[in-house]
Amino acid sequence: MAAKLKKGDKIVVLSGKDKGKEGEITSVNPSAGKAIVSGVNIAVRHTKQSQTSQGGRVSIEMPIQLSNLALVDPKEGGATRVGFKMDGDKKVRFAKKSGALIDG
């Protein structure tokens, strides 16, 4: 199945503790069905000091389920679903809410 959400997409979180927050996808793991989004699903990890790094509390972005994410519509803003259509001989993604091409 084709990837509906890709690295670099602007998204909005649909559910969970960060519901309503917007961010950009930094990486996607399609086999696990998860993505890492900047500024969303932050966890604090306590690390021990080593020769190369300072110890303490480190905030890292944890993966979030792809089903909890929706693309931000390029025209209207807000969440939209993603569809596919043929533009000439090339398959492109489009926003179902406004019909705007996402990558074309």
Pair of tokens at residue 37: 């989004």
Give me the tens of pLDDT residue by residue for the chain, a chain 104 residues long.
568 999 999 999 999 999 999 999 999 999 999 999 999 999 999 999 999 989 999 999 999 999 999 999 989 889 999 999 998 999 999 999 999 998 75
Task: Classify 67 as helix, strand or coil.
Answer: helix
Whether 80 is in a domain gets the answer no
Q: Give the range of the structural domain holding residue 67, as residue numbers without chain letter.
A: 10-74
Whether 95 is in a domain gets the answer no
Q: What is the pTM of this model?
A: 0.85
Report the pLDDT value the prediction gives residue 2, as an integer from 0 to 100.
Answer: 66
Distance CA 77, CA 65 (A): 21
Query: Which residues, at least 6 apart from 72, have a Cβ–Cβ distance to it below 8 Å?
Result: 10, 11, 12, 22, 78, 79, 80
Whether 67 is in a domain gets the answer yes
Report the pLDDT value the prediction gives residue 1, as an integer from 0 to 100.
Answer: 53
Q: Alpha carbon 73 to chain centroid distance?
A: 13
Report the pLDDT value the prediction gives residue 45, as an integer from 0 to 100.
Answer: 95
Which CATH number covers residue 30? Answer: 2.30.30.30
Q: Which amino acid is at 52?
A: T
Report the pLDDT value the prediction gives residue 40, as an integer from 0 to 100.
Answer: 94
Report the pLDDT value the prediction gives residue 3, as an integer from 0 to 100.
Answer: 83
Whether 85 is in a domain gets the answer no
Report the pLDDT value the prediction gives residue 76, as an integer from 0 to 100.
Answer: 87
Q: Alpha carbon 87 to chain centroid distance?
A: 25
Look at the chain and report how many structural domains it folds into: 1
Report the pLDDT value the prediction gives residue 104, as an integer from 0 to 100.
Answer: 54
Q: Which of 29, 28, 15, 8 is nearest to 79 (CA)?
A: 15
